[in-house]
Amino acid sequence: MSTDIRVKICGLTAAADVAAAVAAGAAYVGFVFFEKSPRHVAVDTARTLALDVPPGVAKVALTVDADNAALDALTGRVPLDFLQLHGEESPARVAEIKARYGLPVMKAIGVAEAADLAQIDVYAGVADQLLIDAKPPPGATRPGGNALAFDWRLIEGRDWPLPWLLAGGLTPGNVAQAVARTGARQLDVSSGVERAPGVKDAKLIRTFIDNARGLTDA
Ligand SMILES: O=C(O)c1ccccc1NCC(=O)[C@H](O)[C@H](O)COP(=O)(O)O
Protein backbone atom coordinates (compact mmCIF):
# COMPACT_ATOMS: atom_id res chain seq x y z
CA MET A 1 0.00 0.00 0.00
CA SER A 2 1.38 3.43 -0.97
CA THR A 3 -0.88 6.01 0.59
CA ASP A 4 1.74 8.68 -0.04
CA ILE A 5 1.13 8.59 -3.79
CA ARG A 6 -0.16 11.96 -4.93
CA VAL A 7 -2.68 12.11 -7.75
CA LYS A 8 -3.62 15.02 -9.97
CA ILE A 9 -7.03 14.82 -11.61
CA CYS A 10 -6.80 17.07 -14.64
CA GLY A 11 -9.43 18.60 -16.90
CA LEU A 12 -12.18 19.18 -14.35
CA THR A 13 -15.09 21.23 -15.63
CA ALA A 14 -17.91 20.75 -13.09
CA ALA A 15 -18.31 21.27 -9.35
CA ALA A 16 -19.47 17.70 -8.79
CA ASP A 17 -16.29 16.37 -10.39
CA VAL A 18 -14.07 18.63 -8.32
CA ALA A 19 -15.90 17.36 -5.24
CA ALA A 20 -15.44 13.76 -6.39
CA ALA A 21 -11.70 14.28 -6.90
CA VAL A 22 -11.33 15.91 -3.48
CA ALA A 23 -13.40 13.21 -1.75
CA ALA A 24 -11.34 10.47 -3.39
CA GLY A 25 -8.13 12.01 -2.07
CA ALA A 26 -6.67 13.91 -5.02
CA ALA A 27 -3.66 16.04 -4.11
CA TYR A 28 -4.10 18.32 -7.15
CA VAL A 29 -7.03 19.37 -9.31
CA GLY A 30 -6.35 20.71 -12.80
CA PHE A 31 -8.25 23.17 -14.97
CA VAL A 32 -7.52 23.30 -18.70
CA PHE A 33 -7.35 26.64 -20.51
CA PHE A 34 -7.06 25.52 -24.13
CA GLU A 35 -10.02 26.31 -26.32
CA LYS A 36 -9.62 23.30 -28.61
CA SER A 37 -9.91 20.90 -25.68
CA PRO A 38 -13.20 19.28 -24.62
CA ARG A 39 -12.00 20.11 -21.08
CA HIS A 40 -11.54 23.83 -21.66
CA VAL A 41 -13.03 26.05 -18.97
CA ALA A 42 -13.64 29.79 -19.08
CA VAL A 43 -11.81 31.88 -16.50
CA ASP A 44 -14.98 32.67 -14.56
CA THR A 45 -15.99 29.01 -14.44
CA ALA A 46 -12.54 28.09 -13.17
CA ARG A 47 -12.81 30.78 -10.52
CA THR A 48 -16.09 29.32 -9.24
CA LEU A 49 -14.65 25.79 -9.23
CA ALA A 50 -11.39 26.83 -7.59
CA LEU A 51 -13.10 28.74 -4.79
CA ASP A 52 -14.70 25.45 -3.68
CA VAL A 53 -11.43 23.51 -3.44
CA PRO A 54 -10.47 22.98 0.21
CA PRO A 55 -7.06 23.95 1.60
CA GLY A 56 -4.54 21.17 1.14
CA VAL A 57 -5.62 20.35 -2.40
CA ALA A 58 -3.55 22.24 -4.96
CA LYS A 59 -5.32 24.07 -7.79
CA VAL A 60 -3.44 23.88 -11.08
CA ALA A 61 -4.10 25.94 -14.22
CA LEU A 62 -2.95 24.26 -17.43
CA THR A 63 -2.04 26.61 -20.27
CA VAL A 64 -0.43 26.14 -23.68
CA ASP A 65 2.00 28.84 -24.84
CA ALA A 66 -0.16 31.47 -23.17
CA ASP A 67 0.88 35.10 -23.49
CA ASN A 68 1.07 37.54 -20.58
CA ALA A 69 -2.36 39.02 -21.32
CA ALA A 70 -3.99 35.59 -20.99
CA LEU A 71 -1.99 34.74 -17.87
CA ASP A 72 -2.74 38.14 -16.33
CA ALA A 73 -6.47 37.53 -16.84
CA LEU A 74 -6.26 34.01 -15.46
CA THR A 75 -4.10 34.65 -12.41
CA GLY A 76 -6.00 37.83 -11.61
CA ARG A 77 -9.31 35.97 -11.28
CA VAL A 78 -8.59 32.37 -10.28
CA PRO A 79 -6.97 31.46 -6.96
CA LEU A 80 -4.16 29.12 -8.00
CA ASP A 81 -1.35 27.10 -6.46
CA PHE A 82 0.49 26.06 -9.67
CA LEU A 83 0.75 26.94 -13.32
CA GLN A 84 1.17 23.93 -15.63
CA LEU A 85 2.86 24.85 -18.90
CA HIS A 86 1.94 22.33 -21.58
CA GLY A 87 3.22 23.98 -24.73
CA GLU A 88 6.59 24.83 -26.25
CA GLU A 89 7.54 27.31 -23.53
CA SER A 90 11.32 27.78 -23.48
CA PRO A 91 13.30 27.58 -20.22
CA ALA A 92 13.60 31.39 -20.35
CA ARG A 93 9.84 31.75 -20.71
CA VAL A 94 9.28 29.36 -17.79
CA ALA A 95 11.58 31.51 -15.65
CA GLU A 96 9.80 34.68 -16.78
CA ILE A 97 6.39 33.24 -15.90
CA LYS A 98 7.59 32.10 -12.48
CA ALA A 99 8.99 35.54 -11.70
CA ARG A 100 6.01 37.49 -13.06
CA TYR A 101 3.25 35.49 -11.35
CA GLY A 102 5.03 34.20 -8.25
CA LEU A 103 3.54 30.75 -8.70
CA PRO A 104 5.38 27.44 -8.88
CA VAL A 105 5.46 25.93 -12.36
CA MET A 106 4.96 22.38 -13.59
CA LYS A 107 6.51 21.98 -17.05
CA ALA A 108 5.19 19.19 -19.25
CA ILE A 109 7.79 17.14 -21.10
CA GLY A 110 6.57 15.00 -24.01
CA VAL A 111 8.20 11.58 -24.31
CA ALA A 112 8.06 9.17 -27.21
CA GLU A 113 11.66 7.89 -27.30
CA ALA A 114 14.80 7.92 -25.16
CA ALA A 115 16.16 11.08 -26.80
CA ASP A 116 13.17 13.05 -25.48
CA LEU A 117 14.39 12.54 -21.93
CA ALA A 118 17.15 15.11 -22.52
CA GLN A 119 14.46 17.79 -22.17
CA ILE A 120 14.04 16.79 -18.55
CA ASP A 121 17.54 18.04 -17.75
CA VAL A 122 16.92 21.22 -19.75
CA TYR A 123 13.92 22.18 -17.61
CA ALA A 124 14.97 20.65 -14.28
CA GLY A 125 16.87 23.79 -13.32
CA VAL A 126 14.01 26.17 -13.92
CA ALA A 127 10.70 24.37 -13.28
CA ASP A 128 9.45 23.46 -9.80
CA GLN A 129 7.98 20.17 -10.96
CA LEU A 130 7.98 18.20 -14.21
CA LEU A 131 5.07 16.37 -15.77
CA ILE A 132 6.43 13.52 -17.85
CA ASP A 133 3.74 12.83 -20.42
CA ALA A 134 3.32 11.03 -23.74
CA LYS A 135 4.12 13.11 -26.81
CA PRO A 136 0.93 13.81 -28.77
CA PRO A 137 0.37 11.44 -31.69
CA PRO A 138 0.69 12.80 -35.26
CA GLY A 139 -2.35 14.87 -36.17
CA ALA A 140 -3.43 15.39 -32.55
CA THR A 141 -5.39 18.58 -31.96
CA ARG A 142 -3.99 19.13 -28.49
CA PRO A 143 -0.57 18.61 -26.90
CA GLY A 144 -1.88 16.51 -24.00
CA GLY A 145 -4.92 14.70 -22.73
CA ASN A 146 -4.77 12.20 -25.59
CA ALA A 147 -5.17 8.95 -23.59
CA LEU A 148 -1.81 7.82 -24.90
CA ALA A 149 0.89 6.19 -22.77
CA PHE A 150 4.60 6.26 -23.57
CA ASP A 151 6.87 3.26 -23.03
CA TRP A 152 7.36 3.35 -19.27
CA ARG A 153 10.54 1.26 -19.60
CA LEU A 154 12.22 4.47 -20.83
CA ILE A 155 12.14 5.90 -17.31
CA GLU A 156 12.40 2.68 -15.31
CA GLY A 157 14.91 3.18 -12.47
CA ARG A 158 15.31 6.89 -13.26
CA ASP A 159 14.81 9.77 -10.87
CA TRP A 160 15.37 13.49 -11.07
CA PRO A 161 16.32 16.16 -8.53
CA LEU A 162 12.83 17.71 -8.46
CA PRO A 163 9.32 16.39 -7.97
CA TRP A 164 7.72 14.89 -11.09
CA LEU A 165 4.42 13.42 -12.16
CA LEU A 166 3.86 10.52 -14.54
CA ALA A 167 1.13 11.25 -17.11
CA GLY A 168 -0.30 9.89 -20.33
CA GLY A 169 -2.78 7.10 -20.85
CA LEU A 170 -3.09 6.16 -17.19
CA THR A 171 -6.27 4.30 -16.26
CA PRO A 172 -7.63 2.53 -13.20
CA GLY A 173 -6.57 -0.70 -14.91
CA ASN A 174 -2.93 0.14 -15.62
CA VAL A 175 -2.00 2.59 -12.87
CA ALA A 176 -0.67 0.00 -10.40
CA GLN A 177 1.62 -1.39 -13.10
CA ALA A 178 2.71 2.13 -14.06
CA VAL A 179 3.70 2.90 -10.48
CA ALA A 180 5.51 -0.40 -10.09
CA ARG A 181 7.44 0.04 -13.34
CA THR A 182 8.37 3.72 -13.12
CA GLY A 183 8.57 4.31 -9.36
CA ALA A 184 6.44 7.43 -9.85
CA ARG A 185 5.19 8.95 -6.59
CA GLN A 186 2.93 11.46 -8.35
CA LEU A 187 0.45 10.73 -11.14
CA ASP A 188 -1.62 12.83 -13.50
CA VAL A 189 -4.74 11.54 -15.26
CA SER A 190 -7.48 12.95 -17.39
CA SER A 191 -8.96 10.66 -20.10
CA GLY A 192 -8.66 7.54 -17.95
CA VAL A 193 -11.20 8.85 -15.45
CA GLU A 194 -13.74 9.96 -18.06
CA ARG A 195 -16.74 8.20 -19.61
CA ALA A 196 -16.52 10.48 -22.67
CA PRO A 197 -14.00 13.18 -23.65
CA GLY A 198 -14.38 15.96 -21.09
CA VAL A 199 -16.92 14.08 -18.97
CA LYS A 200 -15.42 12.88 -15.69
CA ASP A 201 -16.74 9.83 -13.83
CA ALA A 202 -16.69 9.90 -10.02
CA LYS A 203 -16.40 6.12 -9.73
CA LEU A 204 -13.42 6.00 -12.09
CA ILE A 205 -11.75 8.81 -10.15
CA ARG A 206 -12.15 6.90 -6.90
CA THR A 207 -11.01 3.60 -8.41
CA PHE A 208 -8.00 5.24 -10.05
CA ILE A 209 -6.78 6.75 -6.78
CA ASP A 210 -7.44 3.58 -4.78
CA ASN A 211 -5.61 1.46 -7.35
CA ALA A 212 -2.70 3.91 -7.52
CA ARG A 213 -2.28 3.60 -3.79
CA GLY A 214 -2.63 -0.17 -3.74
CA LEU A 215 -5.83 0.05 -1.72
CA THR A 216 -7.56 -2.52 -3.93
CA ASP A 217 -6.57 -5.78 -5.58
CA ALA A 218 -6.45 -4.26 -9.09
O1 LIG B 1 -6.44 17.51 -21.33
C2 LIG B 1 -6.42 18.28 -22.31
O3 LIG B 1 -7.40 18.41 -23.04
C4 LIG B 1 -5.19 19.04 -22.62
C5 LIG B 1 -5.24 20.02 -23.61
C6 LIG B 1 -4.11 20.72 -23.94
C7 LIG B 1 -2.93 20.47 -23.29
C8 LIG B 1 -2.86 19.49 -22.30
C9 LIG B 1 -3.99 18.78 -21.96
N10 LIG B 1 -3.94 17.81 -20.98
C11 LIG B 1 -2.74 17.59 -20.25
C12 LIG B 1 -2.83 16.84 -18.99
O13 LIG B 1 -2.40 17.29 -17.93
C14 LIG B 1 -3.28 15.46 -19.05
O15 LIG B 1 -3.78 15.11 -17.80
C16 LIG B 1 -2.12 14.57 -19.42
O17 LIG B 1 -1.68 14.92 -20.70
C18 LIG B 1 -2.57 13.14 -19.44
O19 LIG B 1 -3.70 13.02 -20.24
P20 LIG B 1 -4.44 11.62 -20.41
O21 LIG B 1 -3.57 10.76 -21.24
O22 LIG B 1 -5.71 11.98 -21.08
O23 LIG B 1 -4.66 11.09 -19.03
- pTM equals 0.96
Domain residues for 192?
6-212
DSSP β-ladder status, 199-200 and 186-189: unpaired
Kindly state whether residue 103 falls inside one of the protein's structural domains. yes
In this prediction, residue 217 carries a pLDDT of: 53
Kindly state whether residue 217 falls inside one of the protein's structural domains. no
Which one of the listed residues 121, 128, 133, 151 is annotated catalytic?
133
Q: Residues 175-189: what's their mean pLDDT?
A: 97
Kindly state whether residue 1 falls inside one of the protein's structural domains. no
Domain count, the chain: 1
Cβ-Cβ contacts under 8 Å for 165 (sequence gap 6 or more): 6, 8, 106, 129, 130, 131, 132, 184, 186, 187, 188
Provide ipTM, 2 decimals. 0.97
Kindly state whether residue 41 falls inside one of the protein's structural domains. yes
**CB of 61 closer than 6 angstroms to any ligand 1 atom:** no
189, containing H or E segment? strand 186-189
Using a pLDDT cut of 90, give the percent of the chain over it: 95
Distance 51 CA to ligand 1 centre (A): 22
Q: Residues 139-155: what's their mean pLDDT?
A: 96
Instruction: CATH number of the domain at 65, please.
Output: 3.20.20.70
**CB of 202 closer than 6 angstroms to any ligand 1 atom:** no
Look at residue 1 and tell me whether its pLDDT is greater than 70.
no
Q: What is the DSSP string of 136-179?
A: PPTT-SSSS-S-----GGGGTT---SS-EEEESS--TTTHHHHH
Assess whether 128 carries a catalytic annotation: no
- pLDDT tens track for 10-69: 999 999 999 999 999 999 999 999 999 999 999 999 999 999 999 999 999 999 999 999
DSSP β-ladder status, 199-200 and 194-196: antiparallel
Assess whether 10 carries a catalytic annotation: yes
Look at residue 109 and tell me whether its pLDDT is greater than 60.
yes
Q: Cβ distance 108 to 133 under 8 Å? A: yes
Q: Which atom of ligand 1 is nearest to the CA of 190?
A: 23
Q: Which atom of ligand 1 is nearest to the CA of 10?
A: 15
